Amino acid sequence: MLDALKNLGNLRELMSQAAELKQKMNQLQQEMAKRTTSADAGGGMVTATVNGRLELTALKIDKSRIADLNDTEMLEDVIVSAVRAAQAKIAAEMQGEMQKLTAGLNLPPGVLPGM
């Protein structure tokens, strides 16, 4: 029984660390939401820009790189590829930032989203 009470001090410390980590994670999410990144597809035919919330914020199409302006199916595919590439790029940045934030905590896999 006394051994269990000894761990209460550790529990308070863990709860304090968890609250601090949650605050830092919220701050990181706010900072990441302001970031943008771009990726292109089709050899630069389409460039997509997304923010840290994975929202598409800009899309540029270089008409000079389109061989057939009537091939809308191909253009649609390239647009989807560019958006997915930009989203993957910013998601990887977010994961890297989260790993820096939680370095040394020895958290089990799956405790934090996306990790």
CATH of the domain at 80: 3.30.1310.10
The b/e string for 79-104 (b: 16+ C-beta within 10 A; e otherwise) is: bebbbebbbeebbeebeebbeeebee
The rounded distance, in Å, linking the Cα atoms of 13 and 19 is 10
d(CA 50, CA 27) in angstroms, rounded, equals 19
User: Which residue, chain included where needed, has tokens 């929202």?
Assistant: 55
Q: Angle at Cα 93 formed by Cα 92 and Cα 96, nearest 5°? A: 85
Predicted pLDDT of residue 28: 84
pLDDT of residue 16: 77
Based on the structure, what is the number of domains in the chain? 1
Q: Is residue 6 part of a domain?
A: no
Asked whether residue 59 is domain-assigned, the answer is yes
Q: Does residue 4 sit within a domain?
A: no
Is residue 1 situated within a structural domain? Answer: no
- Is 74 a domain residue? yes
**Quick check: is 113 in a domain?**
no
pTM, entire model: 0.72
Instruction: Tell me, yes or no, whether 114 lies in a domain.
Output: no
- Segment 17-31 shows an average pLDDT of 83
What is the residue range of 29's domain?
11-101
pLDDT tens for each residue of 44-96:
999 999 999 999 999 999 999 988 889 999 999 999 999 999 999 999 998 88
